Amino acid sequence: MSDIIPKLSISQLAEDLNLSIQGVHKKLKSLDIPYYKMGNKAYVTYKESRKLLDFKFKTFIINSHIVKGGTGKTTAVQNIGACINSYGAKVLFIDNDPQANLSDAFRVDPEKSPVLIDCIKSNYEIEECIHNVCDGIDILPSRIENVVIDGEMQTKKLPIDKIFSSLIGDYIKKNKYDFVFIDCPPTMGHIVTAATIFSDLILIPLNPNKFSTKGLSILKGEAKNLKKFYQHTLKYKVFLNKFSGNTILSDKAINTVMSDEYKNNNALSTAIRRAQEIENITDAGLTLFSHLKQSEAREDFRQLTKELLKLQF
């Protein structure tokens, strides 16, 4: 079994379902669902969870974006997507950043196939661009050539509000993805605006510093433009990322911002604590859900996923 595959431990399932571990094993046996072992820990993956939990997801598109680099957008969507996949959701990732960090994090070589610019410029089919990462996870990768997409859209006068739906909307429906996660660069432009309009929700990671608050302010300004020019109301959720117990208390700006967003129901209560493990696991081409070791970072992302996606058992 591939080391990148998201895994859900039987003990975690027992906690989620409010059952004993023996009760989970009994349920798996009654449904003729296998499980696997890593060391002395038993676990299931996408296919087994899908049959066991039988969640009825409605396709939901989430775009991770803020006009500020280094906030952790890529690792956030990668680990949220991996987490929900371990619970049985079929996930498509779209790397909308020419730097291709998400593609690299999933060990995908975008030089081996067309990417989004090739579909726009040379009429490749979207099916030719999709890579399978593991069971229940696919990705549309990116590479540096995507940096000219905005210019190509202008030259061909492609409609910003329809480009994603025309290129990949039918593919998403045909393949019955439960969740689509789009990773955008920390900039504003035609293709980023297009991804924003195509999405059901914008996920905004805020670091506890004043630069993140400025990035959020710029994004909220863009929301007014979307409403004015495209009659699109932008829905978003912010959460604290790279958080430590001392930083939030010492930064009045982020305190004020989070307080306001809570009042407007735009903030998630789960914060992701700063952890070296997150960088290490990403550099290794894995996610926090690829292993079953005790991990505060993984539990932070599990709680964030449950809150964001309103996962109920």
pLDDT of residue 251: 61
Higher pLDDT, 147 or 245: 147
Q: Which domains does the chain have, with CATH numbers?
A: 54-308 (3.40.50.300)
The mean pLDDT value of the chain amounts to 91
Q: How confident is the model at residue 181 (pLDDT cuts 50, 70, 90)?
A: very high
Chain segment 35-78, per-residue pLDDT in tens: 999 989 999 999 999 999 999 999 999 999 887 777 889 999 99
Chain segment 215-233, per-residue pLDDT in tens: 778 877 877 887 788 888 8
The three-state (H, E, C) secondary structure of the chain, written as one string: CCCCCCCEEHHHHHHHHCCCHHHHHHHHHHCCCCCEEECCEEEECHHHHHHHHCCCCCCEEEEECCCCCCCCHHHHHHHHHHHHHHCCCCEEEEECCCCCHHHHHCCCCHHHCCCHHHHHHHCCCHHHCCEEEECCEEEECCCHHHHHHHHHHHHHCCCCCCHHHHHHHHHHHHCCCCEEEEECCCCCCHHHHHHHHHCCEEEEEECCCHHHHHHHHHHHHHHHHHHHHHCCCCCEEEEECCECCCHHHHCHHHHHHHHHHHHCCCECCCCCECCHHHHHHHHCCCCCCCCCCCCHHHHHHHHHHHHHCCCCC
Has residue 208 got a pLDDT over 80? no
Average pLDDT, integer, range 192-207 = 92
pLDDT of residue 25: 96
Average pLDDT, integer, range 81-94 = 98
Q: How confident is the model at residue 248 (pLDDT cuts 50, 70, 90)?
A: low
